[in-house]
Structure 1
Amino acid sequence: MADPAFRPAIATGLAAFSLGIGFLVFDPGGLARALREAAFDLVEAHVPARRQPGGVVVVDIDRASLAAKGAWPWRRAALADLLAKLQQAHPSVIGIDILLDGPDRRAPAPLLRMLARTTGRSDLDAVADSLPDDDKYLGEVIARSDVVLGLLLDQDGKDAAPFAAPILSMGGVPAQRPLSQEADGIDAPLPGLVDGAVAVGALSLSAGPGGARVRSVPVFVRGGREIYAGFAMEVFRDAEQASAFVLERGGETVSVGDRAVPLREGASMRLHFTPPASWAARTLPASDVLDGKVAPDRLRGRIVLVGTSAPEAGALLATAADPLTPTVQVHAEAIEGLRSGDLPQRIPHPAIAEPLAAAALGLAALGAALWLGPLLAIAALLGLVLAWAGLSVGLFAGAGLLADPVGPLIPAVAAANAALVVMFARTRKLRHAIERKFGRYLSPEIVRRLAAAPEELKIEGELREVTALFSDIEGFTTMSESAEPRTLVGALDAYFEGVCAIVIRHGGMVDKIVGDAVHGLFNAPLDLAGHARAALDCAVEIGRFTAEFRLREDARALGFGRTRIGFETGPVIVGDVGGLGHLDYTAHGDAVNSAARLEAINKQFGTTICLGARAAAAIGDQERLRPLGTVTLRGRAAGTAVFSPWPDDATAERRSLYHAAYAAMAEDRTRALCLFRDLACRWPEDPATAYWVRTLGTAEPPR
C-alpha cells in the first residue's frame, strides 16, 4: 500500500498522466497533430536527405525571365517556344506546372475576335482566322515529346474529365479509400492540349489538417467520379516508362516501375525537403533556355519541370522548408524523393505504438518524481526526454521512419511535474510546520536541517539513544507562594529565556517547560554527535548562568533558589504523542525518568549537577567527572553510580585528595573519613566532601 504522504502526489500525477494520454488519443482541436507535424518538420530539417540530386531540372519562369520576355501570363506561343527549346535537348519527360485551361486570351487571334464581337466588324473575324493559332501551335509542340500537363481540383469545375490515372489493382481500389484531396469537379487543360500530352496529373497541393504548411503531395486525388494521380506521380511514371500504377498488398502500396510507394493516410506522399539553398543547383531561368544559353547536356535524359517562382504568378505557398516555396520546387522535391526512395513514413501502427510508449514514459517519469529527490527526478525526466527524442531522430536518420518525438513525452512531463508540484507543496507545508513547531526549541542549524530534509523527522515515533536533561529551581514552591505575581512572572521569563537559549546553543531541544523545570533532549529529533558531552557542557553553563542570575535584584528580592540539574543517557521512544487534536513531540523511556531522579539526587549530595553511569560512560572523559557514589533511584531496586562535574574551584590537589579519600572507602572507612575531614578543612565550600564527612560519621552509610 502506498505511503499516505504520497497519495495526493500519486493521484495528481495519475490524473495529469491520464489527461496527457487523452490529449494524444483524442487530439482535441487537432492540437496534438499540429504539434506532431511541427516536431517532424524540425527533425526533417536537421537530418540530411538521403539522395543524390541531379535527375530533375527546374526551368523557372522567374522575375528576370518576365522582365526579359514579357509580363505574366505569357502567351501560349512563348510557352511553346520554351518547350521546343527544351525538346531539342531530348529530356526524358517534361512536366508543366501551369494550368493551361481554356483558350489563350492574350494571343492576337482571340483578341481580334473579341474586338469583332464588340464592334460588330465581321471583317476582323476573317483577319483573326488568318493569324497563327497559339493554342494549336502549343498543342503541336506538346505532341512532339513526352509532356505531362496539370489539372486542378475545383468544387465548381465543369470541365470534362481528361483521361484518368491508369491503375491496375492487385487488391484494394483507391476509389474505396478516403483521399486527402477530393472535389466535385476539376479545371482541366484545354482539350486540344490534352490530346498531345502523355498524362495529366493533379497540381493541387494542400496543407491538410496538420497546419498551414504543405508537407506532402497527393498520390491520388478524386475529382468528380474519377481518380487522378498527383502531378509528381504522373511525371515519375512516364520517366520510369511504366504503363500503369499497380496497387499491391491490399491497396497498402502503389508500385511505379521498380518503386513501391506506401499509401499513407489520405493517399498522400510526405516529403523530406532539401535545404532551399540547394535548389538553385537544379534550377535554370526560362530566359536562358530561350536564349540558347543552356548546354543540351544539362537537360538530356533529365526530368524537366516548367513552372514559375514569380510572385505575380501566384504559385508560392508555405512548406516545411520555406514560407514562400514555388510549387514547381515542391513537385521537384517529390520526384527526387521518388527516384531515391527518400520518402518519410510513419512507424508501423503509430496509433498503438505511440500511446504505449507514452504510457511507459509517463509511468517511469511519475515513479521518478515520487521516489527520487526533486533534482534526481528532473534529471530522470530529462533523460527520458532525451532518450525518446534521440530514438525518434535515430529512426528517421537510419530508416526514414517518423515516430512522434514530442507527443509521447506529454504524459511524462505532465505526470512528473504535477506530482513534483504536489510534493513540493507538501514539503513546503511540512517545512513551515517544522519551523513553527521546533523553531523555539531547537538550534537554528537543526531547524535548517529539518526544513531542508523533513523526511529525517520521524514524527510517527522511533527508538533512539538520547541524553535527557532536567533542571529545577530549589525552593520554587515556597518562593512562588510569597512572591508578587508580576515580579515572579518577569523573573521566570528571563530565567527560562536564558536556560532555553543555552540548551539550544549546545544542540539540544527544549522538550517542554513544566512549572519551574526545563526538560531538554540531546540527539533528538536529529543526530547530534557527542550528545552526552554536549549535555554536560550545557549543564555546566546553565549552572554558571543561574548562579549569576540569582544575583539580579529581582531574583534576590524573590529569594530565587539555586538550580539543580540531572541528566542521563539511554534509549527512549521519541515522536508526536497526544490526543484531542494536540500533538507534542517528546520522549518516553528510562533515561528520561532517570534524569528527573538524578536532578533530585543533587539534594542529597548538595551538588548542582548530577549524571548517571551511562551518561558518564558516553562522555568518556573521566578527568571532567568525579564519582559521587552509588545510590538507589526512586522506583529502582538496584543501585547506580552517579557522577558530577568538578566545580570550578577544584584544583589538581583537591581532585587528588578527593580521589584518594573516595578510593579508601572501599577498604577502610575510618581512614576515608579522616581523609575527607582533612579535605573539608582545605576545601570547606565543596558540598560533596561535606556530604561524605557527614555520611561516614554515621554507623551505616546509605547505599
Structure 2
Amino acid sequence: MKLPIPTGRKLAGITGSLLIVLLSLFWLHTDNHMVTGIRERLERIAYDLRLSGNPFGEQAPHPAVVIIDIDEHSLSTEGRWPWPRRTLSRLLEQLHKQGVVVSAIDAVFSEPEPNPAAVVARQLGVESDPALSRTLTRLAATLDGDTELARALGSHDIVLGQLFNKNNYTKGRLGPPLRITNPAQVAAVAIDTMPGHTANLPLLSEAAPGAGFFNITPDADGQLRRYNLLIAHNGKLYPSLALETLRLYLLQDEITLGIEQIGEAQELERVLLPGTLEIPTDERGRVIIPYRPPQGMFDYLSASDVLNGTADPRKLRNRIALIGSSAKGLFDLRSTPLHPQFPGVEVHATVIAGILDYADIRRGLRFPHEPKWAEGVNFTAMILLGLLLSLTLPFAGVGWQLLINSAAAGSLAWFSYWMWSAQHLVVGVTSALMMVLALALYNLVIGFTGEVLSRRRLKEMFGQYVPQSLVERMNRSLEEFGFEGDRRQMTVLFADIQQFTRISEDLPPRKLARLLNLYLSQMTRIIFEQQGTVDKYVGDMVMAFWGAPLSDAQHARHGLESALCMREGLEALKPLLAAEGLPAFEIGIGVNSGEMSVGNMGSIYRKAYTVLGDSVNLASRLEGLTRYYGVTIIVGEQTREGQGDYLFRRLDRVRVKGRSEPETLYELVGRRRDADAPLLQGLERHETAMTHYFAGEWTEAQEILRQLSRDHPGQGFNRILLERLTAHPSGKLPARWDGVFNHTSK
C-alpha cells in the first residue's frame, strides 16, 4: 500500500501540529513564573470541577468528629469573644464529661487573662492597706482564669492551637515538637520552614497534652485546597492541629516520615502513625483537603448548648470535638472550592475525618493524593495523543476533527475523573487537554481556512462551467476530489457547428456573436441539466465531460442524454434563429468514454481544469466524422456498453488518424422508449447488413444496403458502404479482410 505524501494544507497541518506538541511539552516542564502560574491555575480549576462531582458520595455526618460551634447564638448567650477562661474551662469539662475523647481548640491564648482582683488592687492602690492587699491576693488566686484553664487542660486530652509565621516575631511558648522515629532525615526534606510563632502562655502550653498549628496557606487565588501536616521550626517538626489531634486520638507517641530517594534528592512521600495510618503527602508535607460536599457534613453543636447541658450527648460520646466558630464576626471563615465562606474549624475537621476514613492501612484505603507518577502520565499522554492527532487531524474533515478531538478530550477528562472518584488519585491532565484544544483550534482554523479557500477556488474555477447544484455538492464534499491530476473513467463530448466557417463569413460580427450566444447558452444549459462540466468553448466548439470533478457512476448515460437533448435543443432553437434573421445550421456531436487524465493543468501563468488522453482525442475524431457519415451523433464502443435504454446503429469499424487500435463507431439514434416499429425494423436490417459486411459476405450486404438506400435516401452512411463494396469488382475480398477502414484525415 502506497501511503499518500502530505502536501499543501495537510503538510502545514502536520508541521504546525507537531510544533504545538513541542510547545506543549515545554509548557509542561518550564519553570517560567508566568507559565507556571497559568498552569497551576488551570489545575486548580480542574481540581474544583472534580471536587464538585462529589466523588465520595452523599454521606451522613461523620461519626467520629463533632464541631463545637461558637456561633451567633453562643455569643449572644455567653457574651462576645474572647470568653473568660473559666467559661472555656467549663466547656471543656462538659465535653469530656459527655464522653469526648479528644478536644482541639482552633484558637491561641498568647495573652494572660486580666484577673479581676488584681485589677481592683491596682486601681485602688492597696499597698498602704496590708489587710486589703492580702484579701485581694487570696481572691486573685481563686479568680485566676488561666490557672483554671490550665487545670482543665491537664485533666483531659486537649490540643491547643498555635500559629507559625514567616517573620522572626515570637510570642508564647510552643507546644512540644513531634517525636520522629527517623529524626536524622528531617533535615533532608523540603518541609515548609517558619522562624516565627505565636503560641500559648507557658502555663497553658505546659499543661496541655498537645498543641498543633492552625496555619492553612491558601493557593494563589485565595482558596484552601491543601493542608500542611508539618511545619519545620528551629530544626524540629511541629504538627498541625489535625495531625496532633489524631495522634492523641490514636494513642500514638511518635510518627514516621516516609521518605523516598528521588535521584540524588530525598523527598517526603507520606506521614505514618505506625500500625494505624499512612497519609500520602507532597514533598512539603501537605495533603489535599478531602472536602465533603455539601457543606455541613459534620454535626455542629452550639457551644452554649454544651455549657447549658442541653446538647445531644450521643453526638459527643467517643468523638473528637473541634472547638471553633462559624460566626462571621470572628473572621474565621475561609474561601474554599465548595463555598466562599467556609468555617476554618471545619477545614481541620475535614482533614481529620478524611484521614480516619481513607488513610487506615488496616482497611487498605487510600487517602486522596497526587501520585509521583502523575506528571509522567501527563507527559506520556501528551506525546502519544500529540503524535496521533498531528497525523490524523490534517487529513480529516471538520466534522471528523470535532469528533476526534471530542473523543480525545473526553477520554482524558474521564480518565482523570475516574482516577479521582474511584482511586482517590489526583492525576492532572489539563496540560494535555490544553494541547488537544490547541491542536483542535489550529487544525479547525487550517481546515476551515482551507475549505473557504477551496470553495472560493471552486466557485472561481467551476462557477461558469458546471451547474450551481454541482458546485454546492462539491462544496459539501471537498474530500471527494482534488485539483491535482487524477486518472479515472469518464465520458467526454465534443459538439461543433457544421459549415461554421461559411456561416461566420456571411454574418456581420454582431449577428455572429448573437448566434453563438444563443447556441452556446442552449447547449450549456443542457450540459448543466445533465450534471456535466463545460471544459471549454473554442469558437463554435463545445467540450464537456462527466465523471469529474465529482465522481459519476452514470457518466456515459449523462453524456448520451446530453447529446440527444442537444440535438433536440437545436431544433427548438431554429425558430428563434429564424425570427432574428439568423441562419439555421446543423451540429456534429462526438461522445466517447474511457480512462482520462483530469485535473488543474496549464502553466504557472494560467491553468484550467480539463481532461486529456487518448479517449479524449478519439471523441474529437468522432465529432469530426459526423460530417463524413452524415449523422448528428457518433459514440464510441465504451460509451455504448451497457446502455440498453438507447438505440444505436453500427456505422463502421475504423482506424482514425493518429490511433493504431481500430474502433467500432455507432450512431446514437434515440431513446428506446421513443422508437416505433419501422425504426426498429430498419435498425435490425442495417445490423444484418453490417454483419454480412464484416463477415465478408458482400453480396448479401450489398443487397440489403441498396434496399435501405432506396427506402432512406438521406442516410449517407449506406451509400458510403456501397461505394466501398463496389470499389472491389466481382465482390472479391481484399487480402486479410478485417472490415477496418483507415481514415487518413481528422
TM-score (normalised: structure 1): 0.89
Structure 1: where are the runs of 5+ without partners?
none
Residue 247 of structure 1 is matched in structure 2 by 257
Equivalent in the alignment of 1:40 = 47
SS at match of 1:200: strand
For the Cα contact (< 8 Å) 1:97–1:328, is it kept in 2?
yes
Determine helix, strand or coil for the equivalent of 1:358: helix
Per the alignment, do residues 699 and 143 of structure 1 end up closer, same or farther by CA in structure 2, a change over 3 Å counting?
Answer: closer
Counterpart position of 2:647: 624
How far did 1:64 drift? 1.0
Q: Residue 375 of structure 1 aligns to which amino acid in structure 2?
A: G
Q: Which residue in 2 is equivalent to 1:316?
A: 333
Which of 387, 393, 406 in structure 1 is aligned with 2:411? 387
| Pair 1:656 & 2:656 matched | no
Distance 1:116 1:24, change over 3 A: farther
Letter in 2 for 1:149: L
Pair 1:608 & 2:617 matched:
no
Q: CA deviation at 1:658?
A: 5.7
2:664 is aligned with 1:641:
yes
> Structure 1 residues 110, 337: closer, same or farther in 2, change over 3 A?
farther
The aligned counterpart of 1:63 is 72
Equivalent of residue 21 in structure 2, options 12, 17, 20: 17
Displacement of 1:510: 1.2
CA distance in 1: counterparts of 2:593 and 2:347, whole angstroms:
85
Alignment of 1:452-463 (within 5 A): 452-463=476-487
Q: Structure 1 residues 475, 179: closer, same or farther in 2, change over 3 A?
A: same
TM-score computed with the length of structure 2 as normaliser: 0.85
Matched residues in 2 for 1:28 and 1:557: separation? 81
Task: Provide Cα deviations, 1:415-447, integer angstroms capped at 9, x if missing partner.
Answer: 233123212221221222122212222233432
Check whether the contact 1:116–1:125 (CA below 8 A) recurs between aligned residues.
Answer: no
Structure 2 partner of 1:31: 38
Give 2:6's aligned residue. Answer: 3
1:521 equivalenced with 2:531 (yes/no): no
Which range moves more in the overlay, 459-468 or 48-57?
A: 48-57
Q: Determine whether 1:404 maps to 2:414.
A: no
Residues 135, 424 of structure 1: alpha-carbon distance in 2 compared, 3 angstrom cutoff? same
SS in 2 for 1:288: helix
Does the CA-based 8 Å contact 1:217-1:270 persist in structure 2? yes
Residue pairs, 1:445-524, within 5 angstroms: 445-524=469-548
Q: 1:345 — aligned with what?
A: 369
How many Å apart are 1:657 and its aligned residue? 4.2
Please tell me whether residue 279 in structure 1 is matched to residue 297 in structure 2. Answer: yes
Residue 176 of structure 1, CA deviation: 4.2
Q: Is the 8 A contact 2:269 2:283 kept in 1?
A: no
* 2:653–2:662 contact (8 Å) kept in structure 1: yes
Q: How many residues align?
A: 696
Q: Which residue of 1 aligns with 2:162?
A: 151
- The one-letter code sitting in structure 2 at the alignment partner of 1:496 is L
Aligned counterparts of 1:454 and 1:355: Cα–Cα separation in 2: 36
Residue deviations 1:284-320, cap 9 Å, x none?
A: 1111111112355543432222111111111111123
2:209 corresponding residue in structure 1: 198
**Where in structure 2 are the equivalents of 1:119-158 lying within 5 Å?**
129=137, 130-131=139-140, 132-154=143-165, 155=167, 157-158=169-170
Contact 1:184 1:224 in 2 (8 A): yes
1:467-492 residue CA offsets vs partner (Å, 9 max, x unmatched): 22111112212222342212212221
Q: CA deviation at 1:689?
A: 5.3
Whether 1:587 aligns to 2:611 is yes
Q: Distance in 1 between matches of 2:507 and 2:390?
A: 64
Q: Deviations over 1:154-175 (max 9, x none)?
A: 3363315424413324265444
Q: How much does 1:695 deviate?
A: 6.6
CA distance in 2, matches of 1:47, 1:245: 29
* Matched residue SS, 1:480: helix
Say if 2:110 is the partner of 1:101.
yes
Question: Which of 369, 378, 383 pairs up with 2:393?
Answer: 369
How far apart, CA to CA, are the structure 1 residues paired with 2:375 and 2:686?
93
In structure 1, C-alpha distance between the alignment counterparts of 2:212 and 2:344, rounded to whole Å:
14
Question: Within the alignment, does 1:326 sit opposite 2:339 as a pair?
Answer: no
Letter in 1 for 2:354: G
Distance in 1 (CA, whole Å) between partners of 2:580 and 2:709 is 29
Equivalent of residue 178 in structure 1, options 177, 190, 198? 190
Q: 2:374·2:426 contact (CA, 8 Å) conserved in 1?
A: no
Counterpart AA for 2:548? A
Deviation larger for 631-640 or 349-358: 631-640
Which residue of the partner structure matches residue 364 of structure 2? none
Q: Distance in 1 between matches of 2:235 and 2:500?
A: 109
Query: Which letter maps to 1:60?
Result: D
Give the one of 596, 600, 614 matched to 1:576.
600
2:735 aligns with: none
Segment of structure 1 superposing worse, 164-173 or 559-568: 164-173
Greater Cα shift, 361-370 or 489-498: 361-370
2:407 & 2:171 partners in 1: Cα distance? 58
Q: Residue in 1 aligned with 2:736?
A: none
C-alpha contact 2:104 2:158 (8 A) present in aligned 1: yes
Distance 1:367 1:633, change over 3 A: closer
Pick aligned residue for 1:537 from 561, 570, 593? 561
C-alpha distance in 2 between matches for 1:336 and 1:555:
101
Question: Contact (CA 8 Å) 1:359, 1:411: kept in 2 or not?
Answer: no
CA distance in 2, matches of 1:122, 1:606: 152
Give the 3-state SS of the residue equivalent to 2:311 in structure 1: coil
Indicate how the Cα distance of structure 1 residues 571 and 114 shifts in structure 2: closer, same or farther if over 3 A, else same.
Answer: farther
The separation in 2 between residues aligned to 1:657 and 1:252, in whole angstroms, is 100
What amino acid does structure 2 have at the position aligned with 1:468?
V
Equivalent residue of 1:10, what SS? helix
The corresponding residue for 2:263 is none
Which stretch shifts more, 155-164 or 419-428?
155-164
Q: Structure 1 residues 113 and 326 mapped into 2: Cα distance closer, same or farther (>3 Å)?
A: farther
Question: Is 1:304 the equivalent of 2:321?
Answer: yes
What displacement does 1:197 show? Answer: 0.7
The answer as to whether partners of 1:20 and 1:414 remain within 8 angstroms in 2 is: no
Residue 221 of structure 1: how far off its partner (Å): 1.6
Matched residue type, 1:12: G
Question: What is the CA–CA distance in structure 2 between the aligned matches of 1:114 and 1:559, rounded to whole Å?
Answer: 135
Partner SS state of residue 408, structure 1: helix
